[in-house]
């Protein structure tokens, strides 16, 4: 089939299956649907659209059909994205299973593990969280101490994880555990898949200064995990962990993952005009105009370079250590953007909550506070700089 023949097929399928309510500027699609056992749809048209995408394999179109995908080529995936964008729609289903675990399973899991877990990720049936960081093992992740002791056909897992995003809403967790306390720290780690409903697993949300609680503490008290849930070899989990971290940084480097999503919150120009009470199109402060323009140009340059890299990856060139460059730059750019928006908003940026307060002003304040985590989560800026220095620039230790 030629590219244009495939394009015609995609257009026809979209015409037949995408509800009008899920298209264009008035689309009712949420930015993200995380899925999972606890999820319920707010609108039947959204549920119908997602089910159609799942049945077609277009939530993860490049994955093999046997694992819930459609087996599309990189060129076909690009056509699919173009045609969806043309009618103002997209696949809202997204999860850490799709962006991080799934690609790692495709590379390292057994055939049975792939057939067990990947289709449930592709359909949104199971929601995953990531069990990496510990109270004493953040940037130095390989020093983790959560233990897994072999007992027949099971591991007995004991320990704690921290900063586990959405652990309280997730069904399963992919987890790094120490299976050999005598081996060098990078060599005694295994990669386990653990059902969050297992006896002995508990979570506790962590409230941030922004008032939100996306992160949790996760506890394992003598949790039994079947050995068959170990991905790759025992004590070789660091290999899987590194591959998964590359996929995570690829995810975090995506500035515009959804067609509806741009810079978080209100745009800089909108905030500046509202705060300065100026007419539409009028910003009298030359310095302010220059600062806003610089941020917007930096974002445009970033998105252009990232798009080129995305096209290269879709053509078969995987994201390597350059993912750290994208992650580092975007996290710091987002912080600069939220800092500028906070300053533009003046005294209104000091609001927190209360009657009669504009929700937009509250959102700016809380986004600014939450944004402080951007250069920590997914690997600190210092860690990214080390990776860039060693693995991109080839500098000595």
Catalytic residue list contains 47:
no
| Catalytic position from the list 134, 248, 322, 367 | 248
Going by DSSP bridges, is the β-strand pair 172-178/128-131 parallel, antiparallel, or unpaired? parallel
Question: What is each CA distance from 329 to 44, 84, 259, 309, 375, in whole angstroms?
Answer: 39, 28, 21, 14, 9
Q: Is 356 left (phi over 0), alpha (psi -120 to 50) or beta?
A: left
User: Which residues are registered as beta bridge partners of 306?
Assistant: none
Q: How many CA atoms lie within 13 A of 72 on its CB side?
A: 24
The residues, any chain, with a CB within 8 Å of residue 59's CB and separated by 6 or more, are: 50, 53, 68, 91, 93, 98, 122, 123, 124
Q: Are 330 and 302 in contact (CB under 8 A)?
A: yes
Q: Following CA atoms 119, 120, 123, 124 in sequence, which dihedral angle do they give, to the nearest 10 degrees?
A: -150
Question: What is each CA distance from 340 to 353, 365, 392, in whole angstroms?
Answer: 21, 12, 31
- Residue recorded with tokens 């586990």: 164
| Active site residues per annotation | 248
């Amino acid at each position: 089939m030629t590219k244009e023949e495939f394009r015609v097929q995609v257009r026809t399928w979209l015409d037949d299956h995408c509800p009008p309510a899920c298209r264009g500027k008035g689309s009712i699609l949420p930015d993200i649907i995380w899925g999972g056992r606890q999820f319920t749809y707010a609108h039947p048209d959204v549920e119908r659209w997602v089910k159609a995408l799942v049945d077609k394999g277009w939530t993860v179109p490049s994955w093999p059909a046997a694992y819930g995908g459609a087996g599309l080529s990189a060129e076909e995936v690009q056509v699919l994205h173009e045609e969806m964008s043309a009618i103002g729609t997209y696949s809202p289903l997204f999860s850490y299973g799709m962006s991080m675990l799934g690609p790692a399973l495709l590379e390292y899991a057994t055939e049975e593990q792939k057939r067990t877990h990947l289709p449930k990720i592709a359909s949104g049936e199971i929601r995953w969280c990531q069990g990496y960081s510990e109270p004493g093992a953040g940037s130095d992740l390989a020093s983790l101490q959560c233990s897994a002791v072999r007992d027949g056909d099971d591991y007995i897992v004991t320990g704690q994880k921290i900063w586990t995003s959405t652990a309280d809403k997730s069904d399963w967790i992919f987890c790094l555990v120490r299976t050999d306390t005598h081996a060098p720290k990078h060599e005694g780690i295994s990669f386990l898949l653990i059902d969050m409903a297992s006896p002995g697993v508990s979570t506790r949300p962590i409230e941030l200064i922004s008032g939100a609680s996306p992160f949790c503490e996760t506890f394992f008290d003598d949790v039994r995990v079947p050995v068959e849930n170990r991905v790759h070899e025992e004590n070789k989990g660091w290999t899987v962990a590194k591959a998964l971290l590359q996929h995570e940084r690829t995810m975090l480097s995506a500035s515009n993952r959804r067609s509806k999503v741009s810079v978080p919150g209100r745009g800089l120009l909108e905030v500046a005009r509202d705060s300065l009470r100026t007419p539409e199109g009028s910003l009298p402060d030359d310095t302010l105009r220059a600062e806003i323009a610089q941020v917007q140009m930096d974002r445009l340059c970033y998105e252009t370079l990232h798009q080129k890299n995305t096209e290269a990856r879709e053509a078969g060139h995987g994201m390597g250590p350059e993912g750290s460059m994208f992650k580092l730059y975007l996290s710091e750019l987002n912080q600069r953007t939220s800092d500028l928006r906070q300053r533009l908003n003046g005294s209104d940026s000091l609001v927190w909550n209360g009657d009669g307060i504009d929700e937009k002003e509250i959102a700016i304040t809380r986004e600014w506070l939450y944004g402080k985590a951007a250069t920590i989560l997914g690997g600190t800026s210092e860690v990214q700089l080390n990776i860039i220095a060693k693995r991109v620039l080839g500098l000595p230790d």
